[in-house]
Amino acid sequence: MFRISEYKKVQSLQEAWELNQKKSTRTAGGMTWLRLRRNPAGTFVDLSGLGLDRIEETEEEIRIGCMVTLRALETSEIMERYTEGAAKAAVCHIIGVQFRNLATVGGSIFGRFGFSDVLTLFLSLDTYVEMYRGNEKTELVPLPEFAAAKPDRDILTRVIIRKEKLHAAYESVRTNASTDFPALTAAGTLLEDGSIRLVIGAKPQRAERVPAAESWKAERAFAERSEETPLLSEETIRAYAEEAKKTVKTGSNMRGSSRYRSALVGVETARILRTLAGAKKPADPEKNAGKGASECGETAGAGEKDRTKNSTLQKEEKGVKA
Ligand SMILES: Cc1cc2nc3c(=O)[nH]c(=O)nc-3n(C[C@H](O)[C@H](O)[C@H](O)COP(=O)(O)OP(=O)(O)OC[C@H]3O[C@@H](n4cnc5c(N)ncnc54)[C@H](O)[C@@H]3O)c2cc1C
């Protein structure tokens, strides 16, 4: 059980920051992870009174307050439109609606969890983390830099996406039930200039952008995208997927061996690229690839469906090798 000595609903970021400088203080998001800790907290800082629970859009940015819940992210019209359903696809498998009504974007990003769908999604976008550093000082940190850094005692106030013209895609593989921790996560974006960002997470190490993808390019102009004229040919998609499979380092844990994960890197990269390119999906009636948000649904305990998905993955892996 998680114990606290003092509860403080703060009135300002400065108050939160000052309290948080003490090692025994815990700043809370939705407390869904914090409550699993055994060691007691001195002061427990509640940020819920600071108006940081909104998603706002301007011409240039999408600004997501740290207290925005994963459910709000999932159902946000702004995020749905901007990420073409990828945001919803990233979070809709996390436990269940009640859990997602508690867990926050701030806690998910600050936690830098290796299995994080949320981190995987945001790394595929041009994302910055707004940190309150005390005495009215705030700093914008690029998310790749923030994700690689050790946690500090500052307050994460917002996650900010700089808007680009893009196509987006999200995929994850869960081996037993749809609501398990993922065995692998993947997100991608294709930008107007034809460049591609690919992020792989739950390797089981934390999500990172794939360096090999920095040299990948769409083969047609962004505006020409259609099923008849996809931006990448199937041959190129398979070559890029093979490159990702060879270069992304994976490891083993209870959710999968390194060999299995490397095979998944190939399959998931191909799925992401097909979606980004606007290509027709392979005609397999069992196939669960690239459906983005339509993949979502309350599917806890859908073991049969998940086993079918796994057999489909094996078939697709053969395709990547071919
Ligand atoms: C059983 C279980 C299964 C899960 N499965 C998945 C999954 O499949 N995919 C996935 O992506 N995630 C998964 N998660 C993680 C989940 O989505 C949340 O990211 C996580 O639980 C933290 O959310 P929270 O808002 O409750 O943060 P909290 O538990 O409140 O805090 C987490 C950490 O962040 C710190 N923190 C919180 N907010 C701030 C802030 N504003 N500034 C500074 N520090 C802050 C806290 O002090 C703490 O160290 C799972 C979690 C659990 C418990």
CATH of the domain at 116: 3.30.465.10
- Look up the domain containing 229 and give its range: 171-321
Q: Are residues 186 and 313 in the same domain?
A: yes
User: Residue 232 contacts by C-beta under 8 Å, 6 or more apart in sequence?
Assistant: 218, 219, 240, 273, 274, 276, 277, 279
Whether ligand 1 lies within 6 angstroms of the CB of 17 is answered as no
Rounded to 10 deg, the angle between the 258-277 and 234-247 helix axes is 150
From the CA of 154, how far away is ligand 1's center (Å)? 16
DSSP 89: H
In this structure, the answer to whether residues 179 and 280 fall within a common structural domain is yes
**Any ligand 1 atom below 6 A from CB of 65:** no
Q: What is the CATH number of the domain that holds 252?
A: 3.30.390.50
**Tens-digit pLDDT profile for residues 281-322:** 766 544 443 344 446 754 333 344 555 566 666 666 665 543
Residue 321 burial (CB < 10 Å; 0-12/13-18/19+)?
exposed
Co-location of 215 and 248 in the same domain = yes
Residue range 11-42, pLDDT digits in tens:
999 999 999 999 999 999 999 999 888 777 78
52-57 — which CB contacts under 8 Å span 24+ positions?
52/106, 52/157, 52/158, 55/79
Query: Could you give the number of structural domains in the chain?
Result: 3
Atom of ligand 1 nearest to the CA of 181: 8
Residues 212 and 296 in one domain: yes
- 230-288 pLDDT per residue, tens: 999 999 999 999 999 999 999 999 999 999 999 999 999 999 999 999 998 766 544 44
Does pTM surpass 0.85?
yes
pLDDT for 173? 96
pLDDT in tens, 86-120: 999 999 999 999 999 999 999 999 999 999 999 99
Is residue 138 located within the same domain as residue 158? yes
To 10 degrees, what angle do helices 303-321 and 258-277 make? 80
> Rg (Cα) of the chain, in Å, rounded?
20
Q: For residue 65, what pLDDT band results from cuts at 50, 70 and 90?
A: very high
Q: Tokens standing for 3?
A: 């114990």
Looking at ligand 1, which residue's alpha carbon is closest to its atom 12?
Answer: 116
Q: Give pLDDT tens digits for 137-192.
A: 999 999 999 999 999 999 999 999 999 999 999 999 998 887 899 999 999 999 99
* Ligand 1 atom nearest 105 alpha carbon: 25
Beta bridge partners of 203: none
Task: Kindly state whether residues 10 and 147 are assigned to the same domain.
Answer: no
